[in-house]
Structure 1
Amino acid sequence: MDRCWAATIPGSRQVSNSAKTRRHMRRNLPTIVVIQHSTLARTTVVKLLELEFAGWNFIDMISTESLDRALGAEVRLIALDLAGRGVGSTSLHNDLAAIAERFPEAPITLLLGTDDVDIVCQALKMGIRGFFSTSLPIDIALAGLRLVLAGGTFCPQLLGTVATGSNEHIPARNEAEKSLDERTQYLAIADFTPREAEVLAELQCGCSNKVIAGKLNLSGHTVKMHLQHIMRKLQAQNRTEVVARLVRRAEGGHDTSPN
């Protein structure tokens, strides 16, 4: 009865088809998933990201129980709220397992209400790629997000430990983390526009310009333009050097830029 009734409404079928088309188009966009129990916090994060990453798709949910909503989307990153849990909690491990099962290639970042270094060190060992606390300035958080999208790891909570020379947490950290002694180093690594970060991520996967253009719905000329900007920012001469320099800088190495 409902289907018959809907079919009698002028334009109803066109509206339905249009909605399906819009949903399909969003599925083809690079996607960020935000999992946050608090409606206010979740909505605020998504609104901020929508302003910064124009043309991206955002899927927000209360818990990992809704993860299937994102299946089929091109998920580039998942932001998960720690929600006051311990790193060793069964709940967190279950959430991480659910994410890994459905989106094994997507980097996971944690939304924190604390700057506890112990939590960060433990989570790094679990493969978490970014840590965004409520105390972090928005511009730094956005730069850190770009860094993760470009293949790096963002953990500003460890910088204070390095700057003060404390070695309390050194055994839990790798060489990459030890060498990041200033917050601006993250900005230097992450100084890419959202679109440049997308191109760079595809470049690191070994994609050709043609493949990158097809995946990101760009022209070949636009891809070349983004690559030129990336090479200039990294002071690299070619694609191979771009990847090499980014890896060295992300690992804290001292690459020698050409004069």
Structure 2
Amino acid sequence: MQSCWVAQILGSTQVSDSAGTKRRMGRNAPTVIIIEHSTLARTTVVKLLERELAGWKFIDLISTESLDRALGAEVRLIVLELAGRSVESASLRDDLAAIAARFPEAPITLLSGTDDVIIARQALKIGIRGFFSTSLPIDIALAGLRLVLAGGTFYPQLLGAVTAGSNEQTPARNEAEKTLDDRTQYLAIADFTPREADVLAELQSGCSNKVIAGKLNLSGHTVKMHLQHIMRKLQAQNRTEVVARLIQRAAGEQDASPS
């Protein structure tokens, strides 16, 4: 299920083994725990984070049964594989309880092979601070990582979700309906024009400028112009910051909405 991230990691500049070893050596370094059964997936996530968080320590585990190996470390983040489980599953609840007993202050994020909105919403309700699907582009995933480490929450699946009523009872919608929901959500988050909202919907899906231009029948110059307007409205410096700020605003609106 990690094929997207694996391909992107293997196709980019690798961190040397010696550099990775040095990063793991610091006893008092801020630490990230990655709990993932698959060796390939676990190694991929570690290499991604090593590149992003120079000087940090990374402890990769097969299961929560080995959590005691990390006792005494300055744990700042825990990445836990969802492994196809439901949020209500006894197995996941046991894993979360084991983590909370040892590292009660560390934010927990889930790594999932799906973009299921219902699962993401349920995870948010029980205090999970981030929901990362393996289909996310690396730059978007890293924006979410920074957001969680800064004290925020990362749920890109919920940006285009319908917020009114009981979403657990909402049937799957077709792509046209989803795009309309995305666009409406973006229009509500900030004062975007309808065309800027269309560009944002494609940007949040990880599309390049060229792909956005083709899908919306626009020139590359026009797409760049819309992105410049969007960045100015969000006070963002680049595409990654745009997505991070959208997530922050959406999370703020959810917190402000009546339960």
Query: Equivalences for 1:49-198 in 2 at 5 Å?
Result: 49-161=49-161, 169=167, 179=189
Q: How far does residue 159 in structure 1 lie from its aligned partner after superposition?
A: 1.4
CA separation in 1, counterparts of 2:120 and 2:251? 17
Contact 1:161/1:167 (8 A) holds in 2: no
- Going from structure 1 to structure 2, the CA distance change for 1:102 and 1:179 (only over 3 Å counts) comes to farther
Matched, 1:44 2:57: no
Give the distance between the partners of 1:24 and 1:119, measured in 2 at CA. 33
CA contact (8 A) 2:35 2:61 kept: yes
Answer whether contact 1:78 1:108 (CA < 8 A) is retained.
yes
Q: Equivalents in 2 of 1:152, 1:46: separation in Å?
A: 22
1:221-256 deviation line (CA, Å, top 9, x unaligned): xxxxxxxxxxxx89xxxxxxxxxxxxx857536xxx
Cα drift, residue 161 of structure 1:
1.8
1:106-165 superposed Cα distances (whole Å, 9 cap, x missing partner): 000000000111101111111000011011010000010000000000000111225xx8
Segments of 5+ residues of structure 2 without an aligned counterpart are 1-21, 171-187, 191-196, 205-234, 237-247, 254-259
Larger Rg: 1
Q: Matched residues in 2 for 1:23 and 1:140: separation?
A: 24
> For the Cα contact (< 8 Å) 2:23–2:54, is it kept in 1?
no
The 2-side partners of 1:249 and 1:33 are apart by 28
Give secondary structure in 1 for the equivalent of 2:252.
coil
**What is the distance in 1 between the residues matched to 2:76 and 2:89?**
25
Aligned residues: 172
1:23 shift after superposition: 10
Instruction: Return the alpha-carbon distance in structure 1 between the equivalents of residues 249 and 166 of structure 2.
Output: 24
Query: Could you say what secondary structure the match of 1:27 adopts?
Result: coil
TM-score by length of 1: 0.57
Between the aligned partners of 1:136 and 1:156, the Cα distance in structure 2 is 9
SS of 1:114 mapped into structure 2: coil
Sequence identity (%): 72
What is the 5 A alignment of 1:7-18? none
- Which deviations, in whole Å up to 9, do the C-alpha atoms of 1:29-86 show, x marking residues without a partner? 0000000000000001001110111000000000000000110000000000000111
For residues 250 and 75 of structure 1, do their structure 2 counterparts lie closer, same or farther at Cα, with a shift above 3 Å needed?
farther
Instruction: Give the Cα separation in 2 of the matches to 1:124 and 1:87.
Output: 10
Q: What residue is the counterpart of 2:15 in the other structure? A: none
Contact kept, 8 Å, 2:35 with 2:81, in 1: the verdict is: yes
**Aligned-partner Cα distance in 2 for 1:56–1:141:** 18
Distance 1:38 1:70 in 2: 19
Q: What displacement does 1:169 show?
A: 2.4
Q: Normalised by the size of structure 2, how large is the TM-score?
A: 0.57
Displacement after TM superposition at 1:26 (Å)? 2.1
Could you list the runs of 5+ residues in structure 1 that have no partner in the other structure? Answer: 1-21, 173-177, 186-232, 235-247, 254-259
Greater RCO (CA < 8 Å, at least 6 residues apart): 2
